[in-house]
Structure 1
Amino acid sequence: VRRNEIVRVREERRREDKLAQLQAKIADRNAFVKNSRRASAATGLAALQRWAKRHKLAAFVTLALNERVIVCTIDQEAKAQDALLDGCYLLETDVPQGLMDAKAVDARYRDLQKVERNFRTVKTTFLEIRPIFLRKAERTKAHVFVAMLALKITRRFEAALHRTFGSTVDDPATITPDDALVALGRLTYLYSTDRNGQRHTHLPRPDDQQAKILDAIGLSFPLKAKAEKRAV
């Protein structure tokens, strides 16, 4: 049995989000019952109990009526008990313990996760390898080779962003690789022509977000204009 700390944190946040939603629903229902003589507090209580059960909160949440007010009681001990297995998973293998201990089994499993994640990145989520318009074997192999090089760049890109900005587990609003590409995509060439007919090409100065991303990945670019003679 092993524990994934990232999954544990995610499950804890999900549980707290559900509790916050439940408290908001209780407040809305109590306000509705208070402002309506014909509203049934018991009906609202039953609906909220079903909601709590459906979202797996019933093990440590108790809902009851105090006159016409719905009251929520949270059993902290039961809540802690419910969270004991957050992030835990079970690995089973037929490899003898003498050849591979539990730590090594978990390490190999995590390596397999990385391989699957790489395939997913190449195929669908980020690079979208699609050699569907290629017919010759050499061109298909070249397409896949370029995609694998792009995967290595993507991994370095993700690692640099993670070191600087953290992950979405630590901060859901952190900068992801997709966010970084969108931000950097706003950097476009600007062109101007002086009175002598020379055309100048230059880039705008990066904004704060773009500058942070460029610093994170260790890249910079010249801002000095480059003059080009106009073609006649």
Structure 2
Amino acid sequence: MTSADTIRTAGADLFERRDPSAVDRYYTEDFRQHSPFAPDGREGLRGFIEHLPEGFRVDLVRVLEDHGMVAVHAVYEGLGPEPLAAFDLFRVEDGRIAEHWDAMEPLRSGPDGARPQLDGPTAVTDHERTHDNKTIAAEWVEAALIGGDAHVVQDHVSVEGYVDHALGAADTPRPAYRRLRRVVGEGNFVLTVAEGAAAEDPGRTVACYDLWRLDTGRIVEHWAVVQPVPDRMAHANGMF
């Protein structure tokens, strides 16, 4: 079973079958939680699962695996009055989930039911380019989004057909990126996790999850979720 298979199977047992005993099967004894609203450890997770609303479900859209790290692009239903677009990141150790991070924001739907924050290709291809694509995406975040060097766009982003699915990408100021935290990639997809400052409130720290699709060495598509880091969390592990 691959690390991605572990995530899929654990998710099905926990969220579809509502089987709390799956926590013991799929999570390490010292499981570490970074999701801000879920308690730490296996017992904390078990209690969180047991109190999920009846209509809760998770729909997986994209799944990437990178040497024990698994990134998931998904939709969460039932946690609030509207669906949430989410990124989850898992660290799998010896076939069990040892650590989890996530970020969520409201899902925007068009009048025809389309979900532009999720649209686009989902198939993982170009596995032989994984290392190069991770390097390109990391350089883009470091140089352009953190360093503010607009000139690097010509070396990293496609000049034709670039598609941005980020919520309000055309008219909403983006956060000020400060520090690249993680880079997880498989083939043509790379997820970067960065720490930033909210555009509307520079004193507020936000978690910036960006998914990049690359083609022949250029970034051609982008999805994103930005979530403020709460002042209080259900644990002391931090969001990063």
Task: Flag the structure with higher strand content.
Answer: 2
Interval of TM-score (by shorter of Structure 1 and Structure 2):
under 0.3
Scaled by the length of structure 1, the TM-score of the pair is: 0.22
TM-score under structure 2 normalisation? 0.22
Instruction: Decide which structure has the larger Cα Rg and report it.
Output: 1
Tell me which of the two structures has the higher relative contact order, counting C-alpha pairs closer than 8 angstroms and 6 or more residues apart. 2
